[in-house]
A and B are shown apart, each in its own frame.
Chain A
Amino acid sequence: MHARAIAISILLSSVAVVGSAHETSESRYNYRTHVRPIFVEHCGGCHINGGVAPMSLLEYAEAVPWVNAIKMQVLERTMPPWLPADGIGDFRHQRSLSAEEIDILVDWAIGLTPEGASPAPEPAADESAAGWSMGEPDWTLIPDEEIVIGEDDYELQACRVLSTTATESSMATAFEVRPVLAGLLRRVTIRLGGSCDVGVPLATWLPGQGNVALAGGAALAIPAAEELAVSFSYAKSWEDEGKRLTDRSAVGVWLTPTANAVRSIEITEASYPFTEEVELLAFFPGALGDDEGSLRVDMKRPDGTTEQLLLIEDIRPAWIEKYVFAEPLVVPSGSELILSHPAAWIDVRPTARGSSAGQ
């Protein structure tokens, strides 16, 4: 299939070369067959009717007026919003496009945006009406007090402390948010304790992410009677300007009775030494501003080798999240974590060889 597409490309470009000018030809890719599946997989969490983005990309007529923006955002790697550099670290929920996907979207956007004649597939389900991704959670936590986004509010960050009412310590394996205002809720951060600014960051949730879980069935400990501080971030589109809106989105938590606990460690210096072998499960950057350049996290092993774990070249604070490794990363005893910004949380779990994660 690819060879055939290349042949067409050569044929069309030959016409342009004759004209010694770069003239437009119809793309070999069309919306129905090639483009929409990419939008569904990588963009549909937000760019869906009723979603948080200002336009749906899942309908041809709505996507086409935006092709110039789509082309440039894809080429500049602004969208989909995935900040870690390609090829460094392997994370869950990554939203980076492959080389072929980039090529398809840009070729289509430049090449007269053919629609294609195959029947339109069913639109992706509207997340605001969907249920939980893993069935009913063990805890469904809903703020007692509704959050009000006032007429004059364009963006709003609201903190709500949710009580778990658990009488015993619990082990949480996954978190999810079921938004009520799906068109406004852009980000949720869940921390342990009563403050949205400090405390163990359990999970970040972004639209379209489904549930957020650590690799290997690892679980985060929630002490008895502990509270969860949940930060809800909203942004209005032009359609909601001037409206007063209210929200009581639900947080779902799934528990397990058996997992050995993950330990969350706060790092406040530019390096952190590991005194025992552990599995590194997740990295949560501390507060970062727009002007802080890049974020780099390396692991230096006892044998002197260094592995880059995370690189964010263009920090956009609104899109920073808790980065969950696709597979647990074994960190030998004597290794050192080196951070360009001395503020972060990590989730680790002792291996069989590590006596404990008491560091």
Chain B
Amino acid sequence: MFLWLMMFSLVLPAPAQDVGREAFGVWLCPIHRDEQSTEAANCPVCDRDMVERLLAPSYSCPMHQHIDEDHEGACPICGMNLVVTTRELQWFCPDAPEILSPVPGKCPDGVDMLLRSIPMAHGDHNAKHGGILFMAPNGYHHLEGTLDDEGNFRLYLYNDFTKPIDASPFVARVNDRGLEPSADGEFLLAAVGQPTSFPAEYVVHLSFPGAHEEDARFDFIFVESMMTGAVAEAPEDFLVLPEFRIPETSDGIYAAIKDRDDRIKQLIETGAWPDLYIPALEAKDLMLALVDKEPDIVGVPAKKLVRAAWLLDVFGDMGNRVEIERAYGLFAESMLELEVARAR
């Protein structure tokens, strides 16, 4: 989905240690957790060795999640292209499973600890059927909507590890048309007809079995390339931002925030909800850096911008257009207040 966004991949840090794949270490002091480092170090407060936690990209099959490769390729079981997920790497002792370590070492019986990668909750937000995947407001369920050539809308349900779950107990409608469970409970289905134009928008309301929460809304927006399988081209006016960093000057930071605002607007226009978090949270980090420089000037708009950025992140993951537009309204207000405050 929206493959052109991949061009914003950041430069990856060097491998933390030889684990057979690129891994990304974060070092934390076990006592003073606010003391962090991007490389091995001693805590500047207590001089303890900082402890590493390793995350690594893992190439896995959308349909066979136990596939864990360190390179692109095809699933050895079904031949589907592998997709990138995030896993945690840890060392363990085969005869003492309670012993875990983020760094290699010896087990009590003297043998070397073994390395394994384990799935993380929310470590895989890839669509399994070529559709669009959202996270439900409860933070546990995930759902994927697909649209086939014959105008059938399918809704797949997953848990927080993106493992498929029985869709039968869920009640949903798409554009006010009821969805019916398939015989095997793999998905919910409704014939919605072929779209007459693109982007084609489908609004799903979903209620969760046994839950007291209100129906959740999800806005699925399909672009034509998703139907044809073609690689989507970036629009000519699509912004290409440089690698994220905090500029040194206040004016530079402000300009970078405005760039993120433009990017957010563009993503909302194209319905690329799950990608909103990137410019939104970058804008938030830029704003906090600006507060450090101009606390008396931008402190008030910063509160609103930080809230709005996180709301865009939260509702972007959930794919709810109404809430996304409300969050962006707050973001736009904060941008206006920021401009006025700095003009003073």
Contact = CB atoms under 8 A, between A and B. Distances in A.
Interface residues of B, number: 67
Contacts, number: 158
A114 B26 CA distance: 14
A17 B10 CA distance: 8
Contacts of A342: none
A106 B84 CA distance: 26
Nearest to B45: A118
Interface in A328-358: none
A99 B302 contact: yes
Contacts of B71: none
Interface residues of A, number: 53
Contacts of A10: 10, 244-245
A99 B9 contact: no
A21 B125 contact: yes
B291 A77 contact: no
Nearest to B327: A75
A24 B122 contact: yes
Given A3-B246, A97-B303, A17 B86 contact: no
B32 A99 contact: no
B98 interface: no
B288 A4 contact: no
Given A14-B10, A18-B12, A18-B57, A118 B307 contact: no
Given A4-B37, A16-B86, A17-B8, A22 B126 contact: no
A19 B124 contact: yes
A117 B55 contact: no
B240 to A, nearest CB: 15
A68 B288 contact: no
B126 A11 contact: no
21 contacts: A5-B36, A7-B38, A8-B38, A11-B13, A13-B281, A16-B86, A19-B125, A20-B5, A22-B122, A23-B120, A23-B125, A26-B53, A28-B36, A29-B33, A75-B311, A99-B303, A103-B288, A106-B310, A116-B33, A117-B33, A118-B33
Given A14-B12, A102-B306, 9 more contacts: A13-B281, A14-B9, A21-B133, A22-B317, A25-B86, A33-B32, A68-B138, A77-B307, A97-B303
Interface of B: 1, 5-6, 8-13, 24, 26, 30-34, 36-38, 53, 55-57, 83-86, 120-126, 133, 138-139, 244-246, 274, 277-278, 281, 284-285, 287-289, 291-292, 299-307, 310-311, 313-314, 316-317, 337
Interface of A: 1-26, 28-30, 32-34, 68, 71-72, 74-75, 77, 86-87, 96-100, 102-103, 106, 110, 114, 116-118
